[in-house]
Structure 1
């Protein structure tokens, strides 16, 4: 992952800030030990107090970084992933997902379409006025059948992207809503398109939170062909 992609992750920025704060705490520890050797007890107490404050602050920021693992800042239109599909058998597909940092994963899907979903988090007015952008993370990808009966009775293929951290912000907001007063809304956004053999799709997220899936020109032509064409 390049630095441009890393800096789009709020967890990265918070981790850097936590490291800086904990480094300052380490400086206070060294200073406290020096003052102790000099028998300057009042200065020792001051440095010890600052040490405790910076440790608590650093651990708190590190916890926030863990809760935001997998989330990214939402720009005017953020590219999310690229998808490539290959057919294995009727209504059976292998889908390769490529992230902007070139990381890839392959999934097996059943159905006629793919559906991809994301979690979007927006802030209340004070945070918005301060320029804090919305956040998002990919949630899951699944296969979708065009026929409702097949959708009910056919094999379900749902894959969790597994991008949530151990203290995911979404879970924390559900359990402790009063702890996160600046979080305005958390909602899901999804998009689906028909799967074709050799298909290539780009998925992006608008600043409004709408997830948009687009086929390239060749894929769009194949989608428009009648079955068996």
Structure 2
């Protein structure tokens, strides 16, 4: 990220401003000390008062910058998988999955919707403030029927993506809960959307650990109804 991009961030601007204010406060402290040495107590008092005002302002701006930075983290998303759908027969679909590294895989699903599930590891607050993002492992993709009764009676398809081994971090947390003290929690997260022929979907992971699935504009029109979020 270059300086122009950094300067567009409100949190960064506030942090820079807070740093400048604190530097001016430090200059006022040095001036007050010099006036005390020169026995100019009235001038020293004025510089001390100004220093306290600037110090309070700098701390306030710094705290506000940290708060805004936290909200920015919560809104960031990491791409997980792109999904392209093609209908084979009614309620039977071929999906092409594309990962961020360019790897692809084709799977077959039955149902009206696809559902993606992941296992998410979230860190405790100190690690989050240090900038550590949640970790995730894509667990499975499955077909989902709109009608619950059909869900119980019709064939279901589940594609397992779990490739965990003995040294898998998420499994180690379950087996040795005290081994990773900065881990806050492990939980499952999922998202689903209706399937349409020629559909294109993006699945991403938010800093909160929630999976989000979105259709592109053309797919949204084919779905034929507004989706929340």
Short-chain TM bin: 0.5 to 0.7
Q: Confirm or deny that 1:199 pairs with 2:199.
A: yes
Corresponding residue for 2:125? 125
Q: Could you tell me how far apart the structure 2 residues matched to 1:198 and 1:129 are?
A: 41
Q: Is the 8 A contact 2:164 2:171 kept in 1?
A: no
Match of 1:102 in 2: 102
Q: Is the CA contact 1:75–1:133 (under 8 Å) kept in the aligned structure 2?
A: no
Task: Give yes or no for contact 1:77–1:205 (8 Å, CA) kept in 2.
Answer: yes
Query: In the alignment, does 2:221 pair up with 1:221?
Result: yes
1:118, CA displacement in angstroms?
A: 1.4
- In structure 1, C-alpha distance between the alignment counterparts of 2:214 and 2:84, rounded to whole Å: 12
TM-score normalised to structure 2 length: 0.62
Matches within 5 A, 1:51-200: 76-200=76-200
CA distance in 1, matches of 2:210, 2:146: 22
RMSD: 1.8
3-state SS, counterpart of residue 155 of structure 2:
coil
What 5-or-longer segments of structure 2 have no aligned partner? 1-73
Identify which range, 92-101 or 159-168, moves more after superposition: 159-168
5+ residue gaps, structure 1, are 1-73
Shift of residue 186 of structure 1?
0.9
2:137–2:162 CA contact under 8 A, matched in 1? no
Please report how far the alpha carbon of residue 92 of structure 1 lies from its aligned counterpart in structure 2 after TM superposition: 0.6
SS at 1:146 equivalent: coil
Aligned equivalents of 1:124, 1:205: Cα separation in 2: 18
Give, in whole Å, the separation in 2 of the partners of 1:109 and 1:151: 13
